[in-house]
Amino acid sequence: MIIDSHAHYDDQAFDEDREEVLVSLQKHRVGIVINVGASLESTKRTVALTQRYSFIYGAAGVHPDEVGGLNEESFGWLREQCLQKKIVAVGEIGLDYYWNKENCAIQKKWFVRQLRLAGELQMPVIVHSREAAADTMEILKQEYNPNTPVVIHCYSYSPEMAGEYLRMGFYLGIGGVITFKNAKKLKETVQMAPVERLLMETDCPYLAPVPYRGKRNDSRNLLYVAEAIGELKGMTAEEVIRVTEQNARRFYRLEET
Ligand code: NI
């Protein structure tokens, strides 16, 4: 089966036809979706989706753009959501110096707090990092915890830095960008990385692969991502789907069904 390791089906882009899209996924071999929280509100919506659909699991976390909403009280609430039955990871958390909606010090503070929360609860972590390569690496090295596997979602940095993350035991999240002609660094990264450390993700509604670039994305498009990874690794799309399913199960600790 195809596992979408990172999606945002709670996004308003799906308000018109969410049910229809979600129900159609299983007919297209998408067996499991991890819906990822990005704010307090979307974490709440994520928990609701996991309760409504058997094939949806969730991650609870606050994205760097949204950490202004965190305080001791709301952080306590977030911790409680992590204990919900189908919440399998903390995320997405990290640093974003591209949008820079919150200042760097505040971003770092809540990134570290959420990483330590994952450490305390021994949960996997989904990291978002944009234009913040050095600070992200520094924090992840300082806070390294062998009980919390880490995926660098929508990996966008150099192959050299990917090598460093791989040596730390981390996973790389690969999505629609791998099908873009100009994604030279990412293609080099995927060629170099062991396929056992790759997770397929949509980040939908964003980042649709070619031939749907610019349109609303959904998990059915992961077939194009599997094909693109397969081309780079000398594997068939089927083999990529099989291996990345195992990777996602190992990473999120999802039992075989
Ligand atoms: Ni995301």
Cα of 10 from ligand 1 centre, angstroms? 11
CA separation, residue 157 to residues 12, 70, 160, 256 (Å): 29, 28, 8, 32
Cα of 154 from ligand 1 centre, angstroms? 8
Q: Residue 120 corresponds to which tokens in the numbers above? A: 């305390």
Q: Residue 184 corresponds to which tokens in the numbers above? A: 């030279």
Residue 257 pLDDT: 52
pLDDT digit string (tens) for 200-236? 999 999 999 999 999 999 999 999 999 999 999 999 9
* Sheet containing strand 198-200, strands side by side: 2-7, 30-36, 56-60, 87-96, 125-130, 150-152, 171-174, 198-200
**pLDDT at residue 99 tops 90:** no
The interaxial angle of helices 222-233 and 237-252, nearest 10 deg, is 110
Express as a percent the part of the chain with pLDDT over 90: 97
Cα of 209 from ligand 1 centre, angstroms? 15
Cα of 92 from ligand 1 centre, angstroms? 7
Cα of 74 from ligand 1 centre, angstroms? 21
Cα of 174 from ligand 1 centre, angstroms? 12
**pLDDT at residue 256 tops 80:** no
Cα of 85 from ligand 1 centre, angstroms? 21
pTM comes to 0.97
Q: Which residues surround ligand 1, an ion (CB under 5 A)?
A: 203
pLDDT digit string (tens) for 8-57? 999 999 999 999 999 999 999 999 999 999 999 999 999 999 999 999 99
Q: Token pair 């077939």 is at which residue?
A: 223
Q: Token pair 């409504």 is at which residue?
A: 52
Cα of 239 from ligand 1 centre, angstroms? 25
Cα of 162 from ligand 1 centre, angstroms? 19
Mean pLDDT of 83-108: 94
